[in-house]
Amino acid sequence: MRAASLMIVFVVAKVIVLAGHHVPASWWSPIAYLWQDAAIVLIFAAVEFCLAGRTRIAWALYATAALYAAINIPVARVLSTPLTWPMLRAAHGALADSIWHYANWLNAALLALALAVAGGAPLLFRRASRKALLAALALCVALGPAAVTHVDTIGLERNAWTALIATSMPFVRSGTSSTGEWRATGYDRSPYVDLSRFEGAAAGRNIVLVSLESTAAQYLGLYKADPDPMPNLSRLARHAIVFENAYTVYPESIKGLFSILCSAYPGYRSSGEVYARAPYRSMAAALSDAGYATALFHSGRFIYLGMEAVIRNRGFATLEDAGDIGGNRKSSFGVDEPATVARILNWIDAAPRRRPFFVTYLPIAGHHPYETGEAGPFPDNDEFGRYRNALHYGDASLGKLMDGLEARGLDRQTVWIVLGDHGEAFGQHEGNYGHTFHVYEENVHVPFLIAASGLVPTEIHSRQVVSLIDTAPTVLALAGLPPPQSYQGQSMLRRVPRMALFFADYSLGILGLRDGPWKLIHEPDSGRSKLFDLEKDPHEQTNVEALHSGQTRWYAQNLRNWSGARKQSLIAAAEAGK
């Protein structure tokens, strides 16, 4: 009775979540989408059998399983994934405003519907045939793995419990060498602009690094978007090297920041604690040793997702976040950008003029729920409009920082590094919203520019594929300093063909790479790959994997080897750093 009722609850929850999604018309589809629900019900039935006579405990387990399934309905409707362990770790106070944004009557009604089904189903299945039910569930589970090879479910086949359990387990990949030329280009033969003349050209200049929050390249005028939400960034680019094909390593701020500062890959399915122990040397430490005054200012909060493990003891003499800055407008995620810019300019005024400075600015404008506190130029009746207004708001503060340096006579003594830490998705691909869950262009293709008045005479565009892991060696190359041997990136100023490698693991495990015009997305768990020719198909709509099977296999194997090797290398470094 309880097992049949629980399956009905799971089916109702799955139907609600799938509403609005494309469900392939195949007889495999019901099995593909329900087999993990069936597996949990079988486990529940086995536990229920062992609890014979302990009715209260059995009912408590039923209520817990049904309640958790109901809670996951609004989550999966918004994000196209049940809650995972990384998502639960992230969902604390700093995201309160984003979570509250979805506390609406529709989600409350759908949750109530699932709970009503959970309460009423036992009354309807008092006489359900236990043997027939268990046989049907067992058949569904047995056919499930085969069904998902025929139906791309984008992860929606997962039960709320299986998603949580699977992502809480440590990921181990053995038998992979820790060395390899993982980024050596495979099929790209594109010519690139030689930028080596800029190596050492910024020696002695101040360095300002701005990591724009949730800023995808495709939404900016600098990358041919119209209208342009960031005119000040475009103004800065008039004397800049603009990299057209720059990619984040990981579509989330904290692990992405680790790769930017330390030129080291984060580990696939690794916890934030490991970064505090890993003795990777940041560019701030290298610049501090070279005589630079160093500081990092963040409009958000260092406690979010373990950022402190990434930035503490990394060479920053000054570290300030929202709690230190204060500000005129506060949210759960941080403070207003003008307050942070004012704090940066005050720090610059107090710094000795005889020393060059390296300041890192981490704004939060652009982060969901895209609240700015003031009206913007775009319609705000949907999330994309509010997002572009948030970018425009952040750009205004970038402009104030630019003007502040110019007013102090520092503009021709400063080199700017401006990048997007990751992108932001608005449903361009099935189930892709936010930034952390996929590696499509809207998630990982980011702006990157090196601006220096008097050094870069005009706007220069480079189509070379680069990665944010190349940021630290590029900054040091500009300053005429050698990179530490631990760096896994290389200077963008060198005309060396390379691939960009990236991954996501908040929900499904997904690996990806960009090699010239080619873009591969690979799921290690399912073995499914998608290959795109971005020159012909910039929006990633046509999978050409079947036409280039050998190339796809080579890319996928390289990605699997890389992900396993980097995870092992990070763990080994963390152990050595204890």
Length of the chain: 578
Give the pLDDT confidence score for residue 177 in this predicted structure.
46
Give the pLDDT confidence score for residue 174 in this predicted structure.
42
State phi, psi for 552 to the nearest 5 degrees.
Answer: -60, -45
Question: What is the block-wise mean pLDDT of the chain (578 residues), using blocks of 10 residues?
Answer: 88 91 89 94 88 84 92 88 82 58 81 88 71 87 91 90 83 50 82 89 96 97 96 97 97 92 85 72 96 96 81 93 82 82 96 92 91 86 93 96 96 96 94 92 98 93 96 97 93 90 92 96 92 97 95 94 79 62
- Pairing assessment for the beta strands 206-212 and 414-420 based on DSSP bridges: parallel
For residues 398-427, b (16+ Cβ closer than 10 Å) or e, as one string? bbbbbebbeeeebbebbbbbbbbbbbbbee
Separation between Cα atoms, residue 6 and residue 135, nearest integer Å: 16
Q: Which CATH superfamily is domain 201-497 in?
A: Alkaline Phosphatase, subunit A (3.40.720.10)
Give the pLDDT confidence score for residue 175 in this predicted structure.
42
Give the pLDDT confidence score for residue 47 in this predicted structure.
87
The domains of the chain are located at 2-167, 201-497
Helix (H, G, I), strand (E, B) or coil at 450: strand
Give the pLDDT confidence score for residue 393 in this predicted structure.
95
29-50 helix and 55-79 helix, angle to the nearest 10 degrees? 150
